[in-house]
Amino acid sequence: MIAVTTQKTCCTIPGGHALSRIYLPAVMALLITLTWEATARELRIRHRGNLIRTEIRKTTKTPFLRCHLAMTAGSFPQLYMEEMERLAHEEVPFYEVLLEIKDEDERDRENIEYILQPGEEIEGEMAVREEERAVGPVASAAFDLNGTAIRTDGKGIFTDQNQLLLQPFDDLSVRETTLTVSHERLGQVVLTLRRDLVLQHAVGMAMSESLAPVPDILVAMGLDFEQKRQSSHDGLHVSVVLPTAINPGITFPIQVQAENTGDKVASSVLCRLFSRQAWIHSRIFYIGALNPGEKRTFTRLVSVPADLSPQRVFAALGCWDILGPVLDRNQPIEFVVEPVKQEP
Amino acid sequence: MYRWVSVTLICFLCISVPAAEQGGGITTNPNTVNGIRFLALEEVERQEKLGRIQQGLAAEQTAHEERIRDFSQLAQQMRRLNDLPNNDQRMLACMQLRQKIQELNQKLKDDRANRLGIGDEIRVVLKQEGANEQAIVYLRQATEAIQRLLAETANQEATLKRQLVWLNTYMQRIPPPPVFVNSAGIQMILVSAASEPFYVSAGPITRAIFRLNLEQSGTEEEPLPTAAMTDLTRISAEVFCRRLSGIEGRTYTLPTKTEIRKLLEAGAKPQVAIWVADDWEPETAEERRMGTRFGVSFATIWDPANAFQDKSLVPDLAFAHYDTLGFLVTTNVEAGISARAKRLKALLQ
């Protein structure tokens, strides 16, 4: 092809057949030489300068669930369900153009020149950037908590009325448990809860912080289990309150009321039920620190098996504080499971 | 009268030697007054003493022969112990034998005292001056005889001691009675006679016995005397045991787990559940830790009729009380042996 073109070019020179035969190769050679000389003298290379802008080409939104303990006061832990969004941005960066000018064989950096090319830009490689953001509470929604159906209120709070969250910790050797919370649309989240009986307390946490993630269930319930240096259980009084009628198949509350009438703080007060009946045995009542004159109540719910025959039930409430067992505060408990009265 | 007259005459007729002439000051001879010896009086006394020695020696010879017969009878009775038809009779015979041994021992002590007394008398007479040769010869022979008798007594005492040891061993080997009724009226049955035997009440303690021993006033309707005392806490059952121990002078307790196992092996099956003396051993280390931490322990209930669970042993709190929960009492084997001894002693008297 080149050869043909060259031939055509030769033929277009008017009236100069001989001349063209003699000088044309020389001129061509000269031109090539001159061009070569000029190119060898100076190089111009485009480089990426500073990032000018980022262009989001595509954004993918993935909703997901976030769940954590909410601060509460009382015997029923709460979980806060929050809808979150994970944004995946496909971004392209644009950079300014920086021209590098130097001789071909220039090695000295002092002699290399950089010139910004205004109005010009270089497109960078596309990358994916992720971010998470809170959408809001998952209000009045149904969830599955470790296989049990639960529901949040209008503020996205699930109040554990059945004390499902407390049950794993009734074994004092268990310090950590895992919850799996599932939502139909937002998917599943695994939450790790801790129960530390020597944790620094978080009582009096501001309301603005009350929805911040708290992994410790005692802290979340506003209980103070910090070990006090000078404590006493001399003024500790413990009593148990039971309902009057207990029938098979019902769930009833057992309330432990603790009061400190002494002049020193009672530290890390803890009570536990002991009984031959497995359905009442090993329930733990968390009282924590009781300052002089302070009272605290902790309630546990107990479900009587539906097939339990009417009978007497005996249990003992064992009391413990940081100084050891408080033997003379242990409470005998006796009640009768009566048959359900038939309506006439 | 005649005797004193002759003594007085002899005194006057006697040649007295002033003590001062013999270089003596105060004399120790009772028959010497102001240095004058009454030789006739001394002779009379010597004769009397010799007579007493002679009589005593003869009596001791007789006693010795009697002891030989006693020992022979004792040995014969001991040999016949195994021929007796039952343990009660054997024990009774042993008790009789022990009584005999004690009596015999006392006799031997008396013999020894008598013989030592005769020996002392012989020595006193021998020390006195003026005894004739014949008397001295007799006294020396009497000394040898007394020493021989004393040696015999020592042998007999040693033999008796051995026999007492043998008898005690024999009595210890007599098996305890299979059944006895204590003073509270509780029939106690021997369990596990082969190894580590103990007695257990023939059945759960009845309301009648419980009330009798605790002096309780009946607030409810009068129960049947044979009905088991149920619906009581382990604490109440333990109080009963302590009072019963005080009355009987022997330790009565609730049965232990080991004893329950032996009762099971023996085929015992009370109709009510039974309180056990031992606390419940938690099944897991964590439960054990919890019990220690909170100071709460479980008692053990033996539930052979499965009134509570399918298991034979179940835990419950010591203050629990159920209509189907009663108690047995146990005591050691010495209580049975002691009760039998008491009964047989009454027969002896």
Q: What is the DSSP code string of A267-291?
A: EEEEEEEEESSTTTTT-EEEEEEE-
Distance (Å, whole) CA B333 – CA B339: 10
pLDDT by residue (tens digit) across B181-208? Answer: 998 889 999 997 678 899 999 999 999 8
What the block records as the tokens of A139 is 């209000």
pLDDT by residue (tens digit) across A166-208? Answer: 999 999 989 999 999 999 999 999 999 999 887 554 444 444 4
pLDDT at B275: 97
Mean pLDDT, chain B, integer? 85
Mean pLDDT, chain A, integer? 86
The Cα-based distances of A283 to A19, A129, A306, A335 in angstroms read 115, 48, 19, 16
Average pLDDT over residues B95-113: 94
Secondary structure letter of residue A76 according to DSSP: S
- Helix/strand/coil percentages in chain A, nearest 5: 15, 50, 35
| Confidence grade of residue A341 (pLDDT, cut at 50, 70, 90) | confident
**A316 at the B interface (CB within 8 A)?**
yes
pLDDT at B83: 93
Distance (Å, whole) CA B5 – CA B47: 17
Per-position DSSP letters for B30-83, written without gaps between them: TTEETTEE-HHHHHHHHHHHHHHHHHHHHHHHHHHHHHHHHHHHHHHHHHTGGG
Sheet bearing B187-191, strands edge to edge: B179-181, B187-191, B198-201, B330-332, B252-253
Q: Per the CB < 8 Å rule, is A320 touching B293? A: yes
Q: Which residue has the higher pLDDT, A305 or A42?
A: A305
pLDDT by residue (tens digit) across A3-23? Answer: 333 333 344 444 445 555 667
Q: Per the CB < 8 Å rule, is B296 touching A282? A: no
Report the residue of chain A nearest B299, measured CA to CA. Answer: A276
CB B324 within 8 Å of CB B309: no
**Strand B198-201 and strand B187-191: pairing?**
antiparallel
Cross-strand bridge partners of residue A88 = A60, A130
Total Cβ atoms within 10 A of residue A51: 11
What count of Cα atoms within 13 Å lies in the side-chain half-sphere of residue B156?
28
The Cα-based distances of A107 to A48, A81, A104, B23, B268 in angstroms read 21, 64, 9, 159, 109
Task: Put residue A247 in one of left, alpha, beta given phi > 0 → left and psi -120 to 50 → alpha.
Answer: beta
pLDDT at A253: 95
Q: Per the CB < 8 Å rule, is B317 touching A318? A: no
**Strand A142-145 and strand A78-102: pairing?**
unpaired
Return the percentage of chain B with pLDDT > 90, whole number: 62
Distance (Å, whole) CA A171 – CA A167: 8
The Cα-based distances of A291 to A35, A134, A230, B212 in angstroms read 96, 39, 11, 52
In chain A, residues with a C-beta closer than 8 Å to the C-beta of B319 are 314, 316, 332, 334
pLDDT at A15: 47
In chain A, residues with a C-beta closer than 8 Å to the C-beta of B230 are none
pLDDT by residue (tens digit) across B254-288? Answer: 999 999 999 998 888 898 999 999 999 998 999 99
Secondary structure letter of residue A161 according to DSSP: T
Distance (Å, whole) CA A158 – CA A145: 10
Distance (Å, whole) CA A283 – CA B112: 81
Q: Per the CB < 8 Å rule, is A275 touching B319? A: no
Q: How far off is chain B from A80, nearest CA to CA, in Å?
A: 33
Distance (Å, whole) CA B71 – CA B160: 8
Total Cβ atoms within 10 A of residue B96: 13
Report the residue of chain A nearest B293, measured CA to CA. Answer: A325
What the block records as the tokens of A144 is 């599955």
Whether B20 shows a pLDDT value over 70: the answer reads no
In chain A, residues with a C-beta closer than 8 Å to the C-beta of B290 are 172, 272, 274, 282, 318
Q: Per the CB < 8 Å rule, is B315 touching A173? A: no
In chain B, residues with a C-beta closer than 8 Å to the C-beta of A314 are 316-317, 319-320
What count of Cα atoms within 13 Å lies in the side-chain half-sphere of residue A112?
13
**A286 at the B interface (CB within 8 A)?**
no
Q: Per the CB < 8 Å rule, is A276 touching B291? A: no
The Cα-based distances of B323 to A297, B206, B212, B230, B327 in angstroms read 34, 13, 20, 6, 12
Closest CA to B81 of B63, B69, B93, B65: B93
Average pLDDT over residues A35-57: 81
In chain A, residues with a C-beta closer than 8 Å to the C-beta of B296 are 272, 274, 316, 318, 330
The Cα-based distances of A215 to A144, A186, B14, B134 in angstroms read 20, 21, 131, 122
| Confidence grade of residue B33 (pLDDT, cut at 50, 70, 90) | low
Distance (Å, whole) CA B228 – CA A242: 32
Cross-strand bridge partners of residue A48 = A97
Q: Which of A28-37, A236-245, B222-231 has the lowest mean pLDDT?
A: A28-37
What the block records as the tokens of A41 is 């003298």
Mutate to test the interface with B, among A170, A270, A274, A333 (most CBs of B within 10 A): A274
Whether B221 shows a pLDDT value over 60: the answer reads no
Q: Per the CB < 8 Å rule, is B317 touching A173? A: no
Q: How far off is chain A from B293, nearest CA to CA, in Å?
A: 6
pLDDT at A9: 38
In chain A, residues with a C-beta closer than 8 Å to the C-beta of B292 are 325
Q: Per the CB < 8 Å rule, is B317 touching A282? A: no
User: How many residues are there in chain B?
Assistant: 349
CB A181 within 8 Å of CB A67: yes
Total Cβ atoms within 10 A of residue A39: 10
pLDDT by residue (tens digit) across B291-343? Answer: 999 999 999 999 988 877 778 899 999 999 999 999 999 999 999 999 999 89
Return the percentage of chain B with pLDDT > 70, whole number: 86
Total Cβ atoms within 10 A of residue B245: 16
How many contacts does A have with B, using Cβ atoms within 8 A? 58
Q: Per the CB < 8 Å rule, is B295 touching A315? A: no
CB B180 within 8 Å of CB B340: yes
Report the residue of chain B nearest A332, measured CA to CA. Answer: B319
Cross-strand bridge partners of residue A299 = A255
Q: Of A171, A173, A319, which is closest to B294 when you measure between CB atoms?
A: A319
Residues belonging to chain B with any Cβ–Cβ distance to chain A shorter than 8 Å: 286, 289-296, 298, 308, 314-317, 319-322
pLDDT at A41: 64
CB A222 within 8 Å of CB A72: yes
CB A246 within 8 Å of CB A222: no
What the block records as the tokens of A198 is 């020597």
Q: Which of A203-217, B39-53, B122-136 has the lowest mean pLDDT?
A: A203-217
Q: Per the CB < 8 Å rule, is A314 touching B317? A: yes
Whether A332 shows a pLDDT value over 50: the answer reads yes
Average pLDDT over residues A48-61: 94
Q: How far off is chain A from B219, nearest CA to CA, in Å?
A: 21
**Strand A266-275 and strand A284-290: pairing?**
antiparallel
pLDDT at B48: 85
Mutate to test the interface with A, among B296, B316, B324 (most CBs of A within 10 A): B296
Distance, C-alpha A165 to centroid of its chain:
18
pLDDT by residue (tens digit) across B174-183? Answer: 999 999 999 8
**A335 at the B interface (CB within 8 A)?**
no
The CA-based angle A295-A301-A304, given to 5 degrees, is 140
Mutate to test the interface with B, among A276, A284, A319 (most CBs of B within 10 A): A276
Q: Of A272, A316, A326, which is closest to B317 when you measure between CB atoms?
A: A316
Measured in degrees and rounded to the nearest 5, phi and psi for residue A75 equal -105, 0
pLDDT at B107: 95
**Maximum Cα interatomic distance, chain B, rounded to a whole number of Å:** 114
Name the amino acid, one letter, at A68.
H
Whether B223 shows a pLDDT value over 90: the answer reads no
